[in-house]
Structure 1
Amino acid sequence: MKENIIKTRSFLFSVKVVNLYKSLSSEKKEFVMSRQLLRSGTAIGALVREAEHAESKADFIHKLSISLKEANETEYWLDLLNASDYLEEGQFQEFKKDIKEILSLLVAIIKTSKQK
């Protein structure tokens, strides 16, 4: 069986977000933006999992579209955390690369699904 790349990538990203949240809240005492990042960053993978068992093609596209919105919001919180000096540059670049790849995957899957 072929590996589900978006499922794997979004789960691994969620784990990284959880660890970043723990670090930001315990070491830097940042609770508001990091909590928003935790919520949106982990929702991406949860919605991908929901889409696996969608009731229809339209439901599949809808769930992945919401996941795409959450990924876009996650990128916003990462940008804001970086701009307000809560993230180190290397750390920010790593997360930025991950979220850009997830965004690209989601867009491609949604686009392909709509064409079929």
Structure 2
Amino acid sequence: MPKMPKKVAKKYSVSDELKERAYRFALGILELASMLPNTDEGRIIRRQLCKSGTSVGANLEEADGSLTLNDFVYKVDNAFKEAKETRYWLRIVIARKLLKEKVVMPHLGECVELIKILSTIIYKCLK
């Protein structure tokens, strides 16, 4: 009797371009965080910024290859939430004048762009 082919599940994927963009964003956030002052306030914000800023790309890597739409949306939504948290911490850095605004703004701008991209992906998946 011939072997039956295995059922291949559809995989949901994240573009290599977006994964690379999130990776570069994480590296930039780590570099920025290393410039924060070595005070209690600076250390707290550095830790939070590093965690949320690197989680964006990590969640997109997890989403890549998801077998179900629900799993894909869940992981992209996690990346979206981490990007929003990163935006919050970057705004705190500016408001508290922990770094010069001109140093932070490129990272904040990229963060906002990632938030827009991720929200669009989620919206299109849920339509």
Q: Which residue pairs with 1:112 in the alignment?
A: 124
Output the CA distance in 2 between the equivalents of 1:58 and 1:91. 38
Look up the SS of the partner of 1:46 in the other structure. Answer: helix
1:34 shift after superposition: 1.1
Structure 2 equivalent of residue 7 of structure 1: 19
Alpha-carbon distance in structure 2 between the residues aligned to 1:111 and 1:7:
19
Residue type at the aligned position of 1:46: A
Aligned identity (percent) is: 30
Q: 1:23 aligns with which of 30, 35, 46?
A: 35
Alignment deviations for residues 75-98 of structure 1 (CA, whole Å, 9 cap, x no partner): 000001110111211112111110
In structure 2, how many angstroms separate the alpha carbons of the residues matched to 1:70 and 1:61?
14
Could you tell me which runs of 5 or more consecutive residues in structure 1 were left unpaired when the two chains were aligned. none
Moved over 3 A (4+): none
CA distance in 1 between counterparts of 2:35 and 2:93 reads 13
Contact 2:63/2:75 (CA < 8 Å) preserved in 1?
A: yes
Q: Deviations over 1:29-67 (max 9, x none)?
A: 121011100000000000000000213111000000011
Q: What does residue range 1-116 of structure 1 map to in structure 2 within 5 Å?
A: 4-24=16-36, 28-29=37-38, 30-115=42-127
How many residue pairs match? The answer is 110
Contact persistence 2:57–2:79 (CA under 8 A):
yes
Please identify which structure carries the higher helix content: 1
What is the CA–CA distance in structure 1 between the aligned matches of 2:80 and 2:59, rounded to whole Å?
A: 9
5+ residue gaps in structure 2?
Answer: 1-14
TM-score when scaled to structure 2? 0.82
Asked whether the 8 Å contact 2:49–2:89 carries over to 1, the reply is yes
Amino acid paired to 2:69 = K
Residue 113 (structure 1) shift: 1.6
Structure with max Cα Rg: 2
Q: Is the 8 A contact 1:75 1:99 kept in 2?
A: yes
CA RMSD, 1 decimal: 1.1
